[in-house]
Every structure is written in C-alpha cells, then in structure tokens.
C-alpha cells in the first residue's frame, strides 16, 4: 500500500531564509506526487505536481520540488521564505490506477521575523 511520511511536524524559518520540507513515499511503481498548502481556515491548494519527465518541478508562489527515486523522496524547497508562506504543507501520492490521493500528516511552517 502507498504511504507518505513527512518527518517534520513543525518547522520554523526566518523570513528571507531558505526552506526545505521533507517528504518520503512508499509505492511500488512510479508514483504521482503532489504538494498542497493549507492556510489557516482554508481548503487545500495545489503547489506543484510530478508525473514524469524532469525531476525538478516548478510550482506556484516560487516553490519547487525534486523527485529522487533512489531516495523515495519529493522534498519541497523555496529559496527565500515570506511571512505569507506560514501554513501547513501536505505531501501526497496518487496510485496510477485511480485518482486516490494518500496524504502525509503535514508539516506546519512558522515564519519568524
């Protein structure tokens, strides 16, 4: 069965500093991978997705993620964090047979001044 691990429950980053959120997945075949962001009291918004091709994926709001098959990872990065990036971030994997998403438990990002 598919699973997603986000090892960091909380991360605090200073505004302007770089960010990396970790995501590891377990899936037998080539996975479809996603990062979603959830602002307080809001629904989920898709940041980026990986299906195939270039392993470095660009998303919205200046985010990018890199798929590393050898490490079963799909880490999310941003070179310079803004205070508005404070939110909860979810990594998810989709099985190739159907559109069922399996989510990680999320990482809450706090941005300090």
Q: What is the 3-state secondary structure (H, E, C) of 3-55?
A: EEECCCCEEEEECCCCEEECCEEECCCCCEEEEEEECCCCCEEEEEEECCCCC
Nearer to other proteins, 49 or 77 (CB): 49
Give yes or no for residue 4 binding other proteins (CB under 8 A). Answer: yes
Q: Which residues are paired to 36 by β-bridges?
A: 46, 90
Of positions 13, 23, 76, 92, contacts other proteins by CB under 8 A: 92
CA distances (Å), origin 88, targets 10, 11, 41, 62, 96: 9, 10, 11, 16, 26
Could you give the string, one character per residue 24-63, with x where binding to other proteins holds by CB under 8 A and - elsewhere?
--------x-x-x----xxxxxx--x-x------------
Nearer to other proteins, 15 or 86 (CB): 86
Nearer to other proteins, 51 or 79 (CB): 51
Give yes or no for residue 11 binding other proteins (CB under 8 A). Answer: no
C-alpha closest to that of 74 among 10, 24, 36? 24
Binding site for other proteins (CB under 8 A): 4, 9, 32, 34, 36, 41-46, 49, 51, 90, 92, 94, 96, 98-106
């Amino acid at each position: 069965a598919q699973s997603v691990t986000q090892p960091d429950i909380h991360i605090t980053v200073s505004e302007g500093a770089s960010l990396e959120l970790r995501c590891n997945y377990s899936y037998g075949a080539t996975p479809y991978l996603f990062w979603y962001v959830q602002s307080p009291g809001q629904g989920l918004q898709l940041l980026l997705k990986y299906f195939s091709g270039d392993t470095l994926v660009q998303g919205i709001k200046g985010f990018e993620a890199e798929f590393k098959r050898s490490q079963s990872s799909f880490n999310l990065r941003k070179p310079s964090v803004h205070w508005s990036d404070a939110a909860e971030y979810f990594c998810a994997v989709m099985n190739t047979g159907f559109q069922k998403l399996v989510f990680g438990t999320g990482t809450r990002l706090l941005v300090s001044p």
